[in-house]
Structure 1
């Protein structure tokens, strides 16, 4: 990656020597997303209009033009052109945005904690509230010596994933929220 210092910000662009998948040669937009974000490459917001995208494209080309580029570094102009072609065509831009969203969602779902086991609330121990007769929280011992603690307020919000206080282990606390009956 090479850094270009503009008037108001810093842009990073891939060097010509870099290997990159091409959107124009394949239908797999997600492959090129790992290398560069077209919005960042053209320095435009995600909600930019076609006019703004075209102006940004011309600004980047002028900044990288051999007569204007004093450092003599070469950049992948084809990638800049590809970014402009994708973002300036509505159907391509929609597909690109969908691919970005899909990639972000897959990263989120793959990083979410997975419970090691499901533990029934019946196996938890009660921690009484000192002021009232109600239970303040429930706890269950972890194999590391720490505890899984679920406050009553978290249960009322419907939270089931509980992390250990000492390690990274996560369990699923099995319980159902019972509705209080009036007059019985």
Structure 2
């Protein structure tokens, strides 16, 4: 069944989604090169099947080719500008303004993403993980730990994929300095 708009090819995740980085944050960062490198390394580790046994059981969300292409494009200011323009000019209603999120270049490819606050998730003290039930029925479909939050602390948001399906959860959190 083709769920893409107007019978077109399925949309691929944007480079921003692949690197789990906000275009607004990237634009406003004092050192976007460092931020991109961190996002690139985080994406490689997060999607490497040998780095986390839980994630190895499920298919990795993105390939090394997708992650590398995202990094190459977003780290080159000229290529990034052209990429952002292409996202804005796509025929997706979200970009045109149909869903009220015009101007968010990475919103184009956001089907199946729900945004929540960290406080809305269940915390398991025994395993030191946060989790949330997914619509697919997996009671701990979205699960992550403190290390995941630390890696995403600069952007104060974490994008987590369900371990059983293609849905995603964007978790917003505040970083408290001790």
Counting helix residues as a fraction of each chain, which structure ranks higher? 2
State the structure with bigger RCO (CA 8 A, min sep 6), 1 or 2: 2
Normalization by structure 2: what TM-score?
0.38
